[in-house]
Chain A
Amino acid sequence: MSALLAVTDAHVAYGKVEAVRSVSLEVGANEIVTIIGANGAGKTTLLSAIMGILPLKGRVAFAGQDLARLDIEDRVARGLGLVPEHRELFVTMNVEDNLELGAFRVEKARAKASMERVYTLFPRLKERRKQLAGTLSGGEQQMLAMGRALMGAPKLLMLDEPSLGLAPIIVADIFRIVTELRAAGVSVLLVEQNAQAALKIADHAYVMELGEFVLKGPAAEIAANERVAASYLGFQHEAASAL
């Protein structure tokens, strides 16, 4: 049985600078995989390239199918979802419209069920469903971004820095929901600077430095690695104590 997502020997260039070099990665079914690393290590670049936002040299296979010739929209339709770092919400539209559009490629009946599920996961969104997305707080916007991605019924959800700029208590909430997603059969590829929190919930982890993976393995093993502890855990960049 092959992995749900398999990236082989991927290179991504930003102009002339190669931001990701020779990276290989696998995410299995029902699995949380995290990529940790410092600012500018190339984590966001890698996710964008897997999603098709940036051109990638190498092979990306999803559910056994090569993604090379598929646009972003087709990848979404095949069950790959991304919650980007900047969330990219439709800020002048209300919460419900944002969610409804998340299911643009899903048939109506299923969209309805998805909406119920999202509202159960994020009761806050249901309370605010007629509010404009741009007027939500940072944490609520993150929830809406995740909710919108879930409306597309993804098999794999990629989350880029979901804890960015959020209060510790909300970060805890978001990470709890990520584990619930796994329980519901959605795999998660999580990019985080908050290494501690990420390693706690992940099954597997990759450590990225200057565009390359320098370490990979089961999350518990990575968390115990001395070098990782020194570089990423000793002094945390984020509110790691939240968990």
Chain B
Amino acid sequence: MNDRLPILFFALVMAAIPFIPGMPPFWIVLLDNIGLAALVAMGLVLLTGVGGLTSFGQAAFVGFGAYTTAVLSATYGVSPWLTLPLSLIVSGVFAVLLGLITVRLSGHYLPLGTLAWGLGLFYLFSKLEFLGRNDGISAIPPLSIGGYRMLDPASIYFAIWVAVVLSALLTVNLLDSRTGRAIRALRRGHIAAEAFGVHTPRAKLLVFIHAAVLAGLSGWLYAHLQRAVNPTPFGAQAGIEYLFIAVVGGAGYVWGGVLGAAIVVILKEVLQSYLPLILHGSGQLETIVFGIMLVALLQLAPAGVWPWLTSLLPLRTNGKAPDTSLLLPARIRAAGASEVLLQVDKARKQFGGVIAVNNVSFDVQTREIVALIGPNGAGKSTTFNLITGVLTATAGSISVLGRKVDNAPPQEIVKLGISRTFQHVKLVPDMTVLENVAIGAHLRGQSGPIASMLRLDRADEARLLAEAARQIERVGLADQMHQLAGSLSLGQQRIVEIARALCVDPMLLLLDEPAAGLRHMEKQRLAALLRQLRDGGMSVLLVEHDMGFVMDLADRVVVLDFGTKIAEGTPATIKSNPEVIKAYLGVAA
């Protein structure tokens, strides 16, 4: 693909650098350090910038990688190449252990947690006998291929930068895939992602492991570059510095990690050599400047250097149109199944003392549009959340095609063929419309993260994108397919949500105020689309305030008031129902 070309170019340039005549060896050392930091930063980009999980503890994973190979190769004489997988596995296993605890933490607890275990592990490294305590481990054998021993910084340079380029490639691949979309959706909250079958804790753990393994790789290389390890570079200070690197470069961009590493490593070098001359002081003067710069950066350019740099370049965001002839297998619909698609039976939801939904019963038949109306706070959205498994009912039951689905999580509900939109639009604003809609087809793809990294997912991926493109065309937004979702008007964003829900290939579509913010013509188009879907065999349950829209479209109307169903029937009977008029409609129509 064309976006791989710059990477190839970058790899060639990096490969050529050591052959430049008169290249000072010191610069090569710097480049080695940049590569090592870039590996960790890249993981942080995925973890923090993309996944929204801030970690101050990445240095500890570098430590795991470094100490694993140090102990095995220096103490037990194991070949460094054998310790490579072991280093990665140790980092990965600790990532699983720490991650299982950490990723469940919400908001600011998460970074604090990482800070705490980062500190704890640092002290552990410096106290354990077999890790050499504060002195660490020395006499680590160098890497060698055949008889070629990588003894100096110039020879290990290639190993480091091959690792950087490969890791960047794998990471970029991962982001541009089914799994990648799930990861990118994490930062915007989990409800929308889960409604389309994404296991958010699993996705979070995945990025956590990915970041830890990259850090472990960096540690392994570090140990064989320095040929000695001690606890200092794996402390909290280093963990903070890695985060700084990611923020400087641009926490949302893989190459921002590499750029950030270059900026920070070089800056640190410059500061360390010149600051003492200027300030006549001793010690960590560079940390003062570092800290001040970090704060200044957050105030002046919170997005980092990379996005600023790319905005200067005339980069095309052309986005190839997917080949819409590729098909995904359609849902197998049980032939001659019961006519009742969804049955809500005496559903009840209590929040503390407030009864939001009070013994509500209704059903949705196949090929039917049912509208749920009622004043604000009547319990309509809560009913939606009960049906889709976001909330669990206090009492009562909900069945799909005659099967009870009580307490099933959202990921299971969507598998049954029930998909939804949200009252408050939940799209990922910095993803394109196409990518957002493709999240809807998440369950219809199979490729896992490993396949995605290795690009073995392309056939699967093409089918997913084709399906997404078809649904976008169906709702009439083909022209906006490659725009960022956040740049669309609110009304269009609601339509994008419908396309995303259609990607599930649903039997029942739940729409929460789909017409809000639409112009008259757009409303008519939406109504036509919904009728067409019904005639094609789909059922629709919608919450809507626009009575003209509802009464025109719905086959049946259910009226809620204060969490209780007060009426049900055809639009005509509802319009003349005295109780509905009193509670909701106001005047007879």
Contact A210 B375 (CB under 8 A): no
B286 within 8 A of A: no
Among A23-31, A55-63, A72-80, A230-238, the stretch that binds chain B is A230-238
A165 within 8 A of B: yes
Query: Which one of A16, A40, A210, A240 lies within 8 Å of B587 (CB-CB)?
Result: A240
With A and B bound together, what is the CA distance between A40 and B522 in angstroms?
15
B320 within 8 A of A: no
Query: Which one of B487, B489, B562, B586 lies within 8 Å of A241 (CB-CB)?
Result: B586
Contact B582 A241 (CB under 8 A): yes
Contact A233 B587 (CB under 8 A): yes
Output the nearest chain B residue to A233 by Cβ-Cβ distance. B587
A239 within 8 A of B: yes
Query: Across the interface, which residues of A come within 8 angstroms of B585, CB to CB?
Result: 235-236
Output the nearest chain B residue to A161 by Cβ-Cβ distance. B376
Contact A210 B486 (CB under 8 A): no
Output the nearest chain B residue to A171 by Cβ-Cβ distance. B375
Chain A interface size, under 10 / 10 to 19 / 20 to 34 / 35 or more: 20 to 34
Among B20-28, B329-337, B498-506, B511-519, the stretch that binds chain A is B511-519
A164 within 8 A of B: yes
Query: Which one of A39, A233, A234, A239 lies within 8 Å of B583 (CB-CB)?
Result: A239
Knowing A15-B486, A236-B586, the reply to whether A241 touches B546 (Cβ < 8 A) is no
With A and B bound together, what is the CA distance between A38 and B543 in angstroms?
15
Contact A40 B516 (CB under 8 A): yes
CB within 8 Å of A: which B561-589 residues: 562, 581-587, 589
Knowing A39-B513, A210-B517, the reply to whether A237 touches B545 (Cβ < 8 A) is yes
Contact B516 A239 (CB under 8 A): no
Knowing A17-B489, A17-B490, the reply to whether A39 touches B586 (Cβ < 8 A) is no
CB within 8 Å of B: which A157-175 residues: 164-165, 167-168
Output the nearest chain A residue to B493 by Cβ-Cβ distance. A17
Query: Which one of B516, B548, B589 lies within 8 Å of A39 (CB-CB)?
Result: B516
Contact A164 B486 (CB under 8 A): no
Query: Which one of A38, A167, A233, A238 lies within 8 Å of B516 (CB-CB)?
Result: A38
Contact B582 A165 (CB under 8 A): no
Contact B375 A38 (CB under 8 A): no
With A and B bound together, what is the CA distance between A168 and B375 in angstroms?
11
Output the nearest chain B residue to A229 by Cβ-Cβ distance. B587
Contact B584 A236 (CB under 8 A): yes
With A and B bound together, what is the CA distance between A165 and B519 in angstroms?
26
CB within 8 Å of A: which B467-492 residues: 486-491
Report how many residues on chain B are interfacial, defined by Cβ distance under 8 Å.
Answer: 28
B547 within 8 A of A: yes
With A and B bound together, what is the CA distance between A40 and B490 in angstroms?
9
Centre residue among B547, B562, B582, B585 by max chain A CB count within 10 A: B585
Contact B375 A237 (CB under 8 A): yes
A196 within 8 A of B: yes
Contact A241 B490 (CB under 8 A): no
Query: Across the interface, which residues of B come within 8 angstroms of A231, CB to CB?
Result: 548
* Least Cβ–Cβ distance between A181 and chain B, in angstroms: 23
Contact B587 A39 (CB under 8 A): no
Output the nearest chain A residue to B487 by Cβ-Cβ distance. A16
Contact A241 B375 (CB under 8 A): no
Contact A234 B519 (CB under 8 A): no
Contact A240 B545 (CB under 8 A): no
B377 within 8 A of A: yes
Query: Across the interface, which residues of A come within 8 angstroms of B375, CB to CB?
Result: 165, 237-239
With A and B bound together, what is the CA distance between A238 and B546 in angstroms?
12
Query: Which one of B376, B487, B516, B547 lies within 8 Å of A165 (CB-CB)?
Result: B376
Contact B516 A196 (CB under 8 A): no
With A and B bound together, what is the CA distance between A15 and B487 in angstroms?
8
With A and B bound together, what is the CA distance between A164 and B516 in angstroms?
17
* Least Cβ–Cβ distance between A196 and chain B, in angstroms: 6
Query: Across the interface, which residues of A come within 8 angstroms of B486, CB to CB?
Result: 15-16
Contact B587 A241 (CB under 8 A): yes
Knowing A16-B486, A16-B487, A164-B377, the reply to whether A40 touches B584 (Cβ < 8 A) is no
Contact A39 B519 (CB under 8 A): no
Contact A164 B376 (CB under 8 A): yes
CB within 8 Å of B: which A113-133 residues: none
CB within 8 Å of A: which B537-560 residues: 545-548, 551
With A and B bound together, what is the CA distance between A95 and B490 in angstroms?
38
Query: Across the interface, which residues of A come within 8 angstroms of B489, CB to CB?
Result: 17
Output the nearest chain B residue to A238 by Cβ-Cβ distance. B375
A211-243 vs B, CB cutoff 8 Å, 1 = contact: the mask equals 000000000000000000001011111111100
Query: Which one of A40, A138, A193, A234 lies within 8 Å of B547 (CB-CB)?
Result: A234
* Least Cβ–Cβ distance between A199 and chain B, in angstroms: 12
Output the nearest chain B residue to A17 by Cβ-Cβ distance. B489
With A and B bound together, what is the CA distance between A193 and B585 in angstroms?
12
CB within 8 Å of B: which A170-218 residues: 193, 196, 210
Knowing A17-B489, A39-B513, A164-B377, the reply to whether A239 touches B519 (Cβ < 8 A) is no
Query: Across the interface, which residues of A come within 8 angstroms of B547, CB to CB?
Result: 234-235, 237
Contact B516 A235 (CB under 8 A): no
With A and B bound together, what is the CA distance between A16 and B492 in angstroms?
13
With A and B bound together, what is the CA distance between A138 and B586 in angstroms?
21
With A and B bound together, what is the CA distance between A220 and B313 in angstroms?
58
* Least Cβ–Cβ distance between A131 and chain B, in angstroms: 14
Knowing A165-B376, A196-B587, A236-B587, the reply to whether A38 touches B546 (Cβ < 8 A) is yes
Contact B589 A235 (CB under 8 A): yes
Query: Which one of B517, B548, B551, B581 lies within 8 Å of A40 (CB-CB)?
Result: B517
* Least Cβ–Cβ distance between B431 and chain A, in angstroms: 15
Query: Across the interface, which residues of A come within 8 angstroms of B429, CB to CB?
Result: 15
* Least Cβ–Cβ distance between B495 and chain A, in angstroms: 14
Contact A235 B548 (CB under 8 A): yes
Knowing A39-B545, A196-B587, the reply to whether A241 touches B517 (Cβ < 8 A) is no
Knowing A38-B545, A39-B516, A237-B545, the reply to whether A196 touches B586 (Cβ < 8 A) is yes
Query: Across the interface, which residues of B come within 8 angstroms of A19, CB to CB?
Result: 490
With A and B bound together, what is the CA distance between A235 and B580 in angstroms?
11
Output the nearest chain A residue to B583 by Cβ-Cβ distance. A239
With A and B bound together, what is the CA distance between A40 and B516 in angstroms?
6
With A and B bound together, what is the CA distance between A235 and B551 in angstroms?
10
* Least Cβ–Cβ distance between A92 and chain B, in angstroms: 15
Centre residue among B376, B377, B548 by max chain A CB count within 10 A: B376
With A and B bound together, what is the CA distance between A40 and B582 in angstroms?
25
Interface residues, chain B, CB within 8 Å of chain A? 375-377, 429, 486-491, 513, 516-517, 519, 545-548, 551, 562, 581-587, 589
5 smallest CB-CB distances across A and B, nearest first, come from A165-B377, A235-B547, A240-B586, A236-B586, A40-B517
Given contacts A38-B516, A164-B376, A210-B519, 10 further A-B contacts (CB under 8 A): A38-B546, A39-B545, A40-B490, A40-B516, A234-B587, A234-B589, A236-B586, A236-B587, A240-B586, A241-B582
Interface residues, chain A, CB within 8 Å of chain B? 15-17, 19, 38-40, 138, 164-165, 167-168, 193, 196, 210, 231, 233-241
> Could you name 21 residue pairs across A and B whose Cβ atoms are closer than 8 Å?
A15-B429, A15-B486, A16-B486, A16-B487, A38-B516, A38-B546, A165-B376, A193-B545, A196-B586, A210-B519, A231-B548, A235-B589, A236-B587, A237-B376, A237-B547, A238-B376, A238-B584, A238-B586, A239-B584, A241-B581, A241-B582
